Amino acid sequence: MTLADATIGSRLKVVSRKRMTSVDGESIAGLGIHIGEEVIVVRAAPFSGPVLVEVPSSGVRVAMGRGMAAEVVVEPANAVA
Amino acid sequence: MRWHEGQANRAGKPLAEPVREVVIALVGQPNCGKSTLFNALAGFKANTGNFPGTSVTFTTSRVTVAGMHARIVDLPGTYSLTPRDGAEEVTRRYLTEGHADAIIAVVDASVLSRSIELTLELLETGLPIVVALNMMDEAGRKGIEVDIPALEARLGVPVVPTVATRGEGVVSVTLKGMAAARTRRSGISPVYDRDIEQALTDLSQIIPLSLAAELGVPPRFLSVRLLEADPFMLRHLEGRMPPAILERATALRQHLAKLHDWPEESVFGSHRHAAAVDLFESVATVRSRRRLSRRERLDDVLMHPFWGLIFAGLALAALFMVSFVVGSLVAGVVQKPFDALANWLLPAATSGIWADIGRGLLDGVAGGAGIVLPYLLPLLLMMSVMEDVGYLPRAAFLIDGLLHRVGLHGKSVIPLILGYGCNVPGILGTRILESPRDRIITALLVPLTACSARTVLILALVGATMGPLAALGVYGLNILVTAIAARLLSAIVPGNAPGLLMDIPPYRIPPAMAVLRKVWFRVREFLVSAWPVLIVASVIMGVLENLGVNTWVNSALAPMTTGLLGLPQAVGVTLFFGILRKELSLVMLFQALGTSDVTSVLTAAQLLTFTLFVTFYVPCISTLAAQVREIGWRWTIVGALLNTGIALIVAVAARFAMGG
């Protein structure tokens, strides 16, 4: 499962990043979405636009393009907790 | 610190002089309130807004606090010292080229754990640092309490709580920054795990000290950059760093990635993140987070896939309609006394060069006060509120999907919306875009957007004669044409659009003073630079008329103006002046036609044709200059041709559609 196809509103844990350039990877991390971090996909934009990802630990919200979101692998957060 | 002194000497700043002006750089993540803090210190000089990437270049100002002088530099926001775009690179370069004596690290206390990560990186530069813990009010609302002495102890630098919007703590943090610059004491660099520290030591030992000195940073900082494979730093070091060191760095990097089972580039980022979270947990307590739910409810509507778009459309229409209603009301009131004065001073029968000059002068003054300002003021006021509240990134989120269909991405919407205010900041705003392709396309599209000067033209010509709905129609057409041009350009300019990645800040209620100061900042730009040009050009036009030069220009342009567009020959000169400033076309039109009641001379079709042509043709000189700077001569010429081509097609189409 990736951030692009995750259920809206469910708690997720970032597992890994697929094919992503180091700059993109760093950018995502810079915005607060680190590997191992818990995130929630809050909403999705129309016309297969970006998804809005919240990082509950800091309250940060980030808009992420669908293409990039499809590179971020996640799993349900309660599966590990 | 040896490296620092070496750098100061290279920059030619004499060290021996005891009262040398210190340079303090404001550094922080996007939208943490750096520019607001800067403005609180320096008066309104830097643009502010509640969206990431408001500052793309740096603004500097001399300030005097408690009798001490310093130069404060407001650098573009950056999430980390590994830059992602041109604006972020400005900051990194500034810091690693030894220009700054001290840093005020502006930290958004409401997202402390993320915001402090950059501070941890800044500590590695070895520069003296003072932390401005900003947005304390918002942190308070989110229930976040920070133990300031504990944070100071952990970072080894002074921490000053601030609320920049209200000016709280601003003087204190500046004084501490000045003191830090003089004592040159740096804070505590973050310590990584044993393996990383070992690698850093290995690498730092083989990095030539002279190179570190030349770059004005400690060897440890360079080692971190190398191990992070920072692409910008690698490019910067190309040919200067011995290849053996680079190879060693690569080997160590791969070794560390394998040890930690992380992607190579995120070893340091993850450590810093862990350190920041640890720091946050030990110095801050979170009580409640009631505030978040209110923002959520508002976003349920404003970011809703359907209602959000409806709202965006309505907001744009409201912006336009209110400007029109207020503008036309005020214009009507202001214009009359000017007309009366003109008739009294210079009765229509008066002739001669002085009468022409006098008439030009009056027209220029009246045009600014009676036509441009009434429409401009409400427009700027509403745009400022929209920017400061934080609506723009939400609009970008909604429109991103649609923009992808025309080959752009949602972040481009921010320069484009800024373009509706004035094209120049719109073009500078393209620096927030990561790919050169997007920057070029967006910088070519911005001049198509109807800036406030052209909006005034649309409102005063089409709106006042054919009604506000017709004006709104012109605006709608403008958006449609911009979209079509985007589609065309993205097919022509090679490359593809990368994904959107953007912080969505919380809504903020801007203090009234901040909004008013910002409006004044922009109105002053009109008063100081545009209005005088308007008056001078108007006088020149009077003289040209007297000398008969304008008839020469008019007949030279006649094939286009009368032949293609079906307009009176007299408008030729106004188009020519419009290249200086778009408002000129409007004021000149009244002058060229000899009346402010244009409906008596032009038909509705002619008015529409003229307005459309002026809206789309070659942008004003300031915009062209900004384009040359951002995308170069060649693309600027392509853009000017494109604009004129579009202007001709749209205007001729309107002429025939209206049966002109």
Q: What is the 3-state secondary structure (H, E, C) of B453-483?
A: HHHHHHHHHHHHHHCHHHHHHHHHHHHHHHH
For B397, the closest of A35, A48, A52 (CB atoms) is: A52
Q: Amino acid identity, residue B148?
A: I
What residue ranges do the domains of chain A occupy?
A: 11-79
Q: List % helix, strand, coil for chain A (3-state, nearest 5).
A: 20, 35, 45
In this complex, do B263 and A28 lie within 8 Å of one another by their Cβ atoms?
Answer: no
- Torsion sign over Cα B374, B376, B382, B388: negative
For domain B2-183, give the CATH superfamily.
P-loop containing nucleotide triphosphate hydrolases (3.40.50.300)
Q: List % helix, strand, coil for chain B (3-state, nearest 5).
A: 70, 5, 25
* B177-199 pLDDT, tens digit each: 999 998 888 888 888 888 899 99
Helix axes B307-345, B468-492, angle to 10 degrees: 120
CB < 8 Å from A in window 375-394 of B = 393
* B574-622 pLDDT, tens digit each: 888 888 778 888 888 887 887 777 788 888 889 999 999 999 998 888 8
Instruction: Give yes or no for a contact between B478 and B450, defined as CB atoms under 8 angstroms apart.
Output: yes
Q: Return the higher-pLDDT residue of A22 and B591.
A: B591
Q: Choose the mutation target among A3, A41, A47, A55 for the interface with B, i.e. most B CBs under 10 Å.
A: A47
In this complex, do B499 and A67 lie within 8 Å of one another by their Cβ atoms?
Answer: yes
**DSSP label of B163:** B
Taking one residue from A and the other from B, the number of pairs with CB-CB distance under 8 angstroms is: 140
- Number of continuous H segments (helices) and E segments (strands) in chain A: 2, 5
Whether B605 has its CB under 8 Å from any CB of chain A: the answer is: no
- What CATH number belongs to B194-285? 1.10.287
Burial label, B582 (beta-carbon count in 10 A; 0-12, 13-18, 19+): buried
Distance CA B464, CA B349 (A): 29
In this complex, do A34 and B273 lie within 8 Å of one another by their Cβ atoms?
Answer: yes
In this complex, do B501 and A68 lie within 8 Å of one another by their Cβ atoms?
Answer: yes
Residues 6+ apart with CB under 8 A from B288: B143
* B6-21 pLDDT, tens digit each: 333 334 444 444 456 8
Q: Choose the mutation target among A2, A22, A24, A55 for the interface with B, i.e. most B CBs under 10 Å.
A: A22
* B437-456 pLDDT, tens digit each: 888 999 999 999 988 888 88
Confidence band of B102 (pLDDT split at 50, 70, 90)? very high
ipTM value greater than 0.95? no
Distance CA B615, CA B626 (A): 18
Q: What mean pLDDT is reported for chain B? A: 84
Most confident residue range from B49-53, B408-412, B644-648: B644-648
Residue closest to B645 by CA, chosen among B449, B481, B453, B487: B481
Q: Amino acid identity, residue B485?
A: A
DSSP H helices, B170-218, are 170-183, 194-206, 209-215
Residues in A touching B235 (Cβ below 8 Å): none
Burial label, B434 (beta-carbon count in 10 A; 0-12, 13-18, 19+): buried
What residue ranges do the domains of chain B occupy?
A: 2-183, 194-285, 307-657
Q: Return the higher-pLDDT residue of B133 and B364.
A: B133
CATH topology for A11-79 is: SH3 type barrels. (2.30.30)
Distance CA B101, CA B122 (A): 13
Residues in A touching B263 (Cβ below 8 Å): 16-17, 22, 25, 35
For A26, the closest of B80, B110, B111 (CB atoms) is: B80
